[in-house]
Amino acid sequence: MPRLAGLRMLATVGRAQMASRRLLSSAKSNPPMSFPCIDRLESRQRDLMAGPEPTYEKVVTGYSLYKHKQPFVCDHGGVLPQFDIAYETWGTLNSDRSNAIMVHTGLSGSSHAHSHDKNLKPGWWEKFIGPGRALDTDKFFVICTNVLGGCYGSTGPGSVDPRTGERYATTFPLLTVNDMVRAQFHLLDSMGISRLYASVGASMGGMQSLCAAALFPERVGRLVSISACARSHPYSIALRFAQRQALMADPNFNRGFYYDGVQPHVGMKLARAVATVTYRSGPEWELRFGRRRRAPEQPPALCPDFLIETYLDHQSERFCLQYDANSLLYVSKAMDMFDISQSVTQRLQAQREQAAASTETPPAGTVCMHVNEQEAAGEVSRAETSDEIMEDLVAGVKNAQQPALILGVQSDILFPVKQQKEIADILRRAGNSKVTYYELDALYGHDTFLIDVVNVGAAIKGHLENA
């Protein structure tokens, strides 16, 4: 009885509070703002609660699968019992298998770089690949993979762990760019390709192409690295950190175990909006959008109002269910950790060899650690001098003596041209006399490698086809 009386009292108090709010509402000076953007998010949340169906699993079709049946030990000590790599090819492999080019993707890229009979949809590098184009399929056999850790056919956090029958989620091992490249070379082994004619990539793909040339110098004939770096710098790390924080703050993230529930679509949308700002340039948006508003005759709104806001809203809305949130976390963290320095490469190799020799379960990776905890654990790197950093980087690429094309874009804020100059510099200081560095004056920022077919394409074609 006391509990029933308490409930009645709460109900009475609640009705009184509602009546009070109505009175206050009727006396407000101004009507409340409308939030159609929040209404749309809430509507999507209700739709997703009706039945989870990850859209990203349907984005790419028509790829082939390489299945690696042996355990794969990762650089940070984690183990995959087996893995798949999704890949697509264009052109014809010649009789001595010497004309293969590996195209490495950016963070969220799929293997679908160009259309073909099994998938007629235009690829993300459609105008760069084909007969007579930058990557001439009349001359070369072009291969593109979805990286290890991705969600477009290759094994990633959304894949099923064969040991448990459940999706890995955040039990997936932390990866490095080196891990991604080593997995790609297992694919090449299965195809009987002992040496690539060239390793080509932009953004994170440029990290991979540099890594391939440094780790497998005898297996890479030429190097093309566009809008990339020899080591991730604090500014780009900070931007990717902000994206991961926005994603992990979504209540639906559930520490990565969201596959049987609602996808963290709001966090993904925010993360993509931040990323999109870094992919293009201010000058381009001045010309493209200026300060124009969607409906200038209407009062200002807190939801997307300026055309630049509606653009960001559209781009992030389109992406938020087309890529797995955990893949974004894992692959972006691998980008942050990238460093071609000799000391880092040797340390990762030692960790991997130690893990391979151990029968114990590797420790779980730590996603979040406060700086004070790092200091207590003795994990804060000491400040190196610029000379020490440069010497370490030079030592890391000492075996990369292939003809190299390094491209930078002046308007790129995510990977500023200073970072491409650094790649060219360390290669030259390591004794490579065949380094070509171009700096493009383009408006499109980091995404120039996807858009500027004339200048980027001509530079690549000249490097690949000239002796």
For this structure, is 68 an active site residue? no
Active-site option among 203, 227, 316, 341? 203
Active-site option among 412, 447, 452, 463? 412
Supply the DSSP string of 395-430, one letter for each residue: HHTTT--S-EEEEEETT-SSS-HHHHHHHHHHHHHT
200 and 224 Cβ atoms separated by less than 8 Å: yes
442 and 455 Cβ atoms separated by less than 8 Å: yes
Residue 177 CA, distance from chain mean position: 11
Long-range CB contacts for residues 269-273, cutoff 8 Å, separation at least 24: 269/41, 269/316, 269/317, 269/319, 269/320, 270/243, 270/246, 270/316, 271/243, 271/244, 271/246, 271/247, 271/316, 271/328, 272/243, 272/315, 272/316, 272/319, 272/320, 273/312, 273/313, 273/315, 273/316
Q: Which two tokens stand for residue 376?
A: 């207590």
Q: Indicate the pairing of strand 83-90 with strand 79-80.
A: unpaired
User: Any idea what DSSP says for residue 293?
Assistant: B
108 and 56 Cβ atoms separated by less than 8 Å: no
For this structure, is 446 an active site residue? yes
d(Cα 265, Cα 133) in Å, to the nearest integer? 38
Active-site option among 104, 112, 265, 446? 446
CB atoms within 10 A of CB 245: 14
One-letter amino acid for residue 29 of the chain: S
CB atoms within 10 A of CB 113: 24
d(Cα 90, Cα 130) in Å, to the nearest integer? 8
For this structure, is 412 an active site residue? yes
Residues marked as catalytic:
203, 412, 446
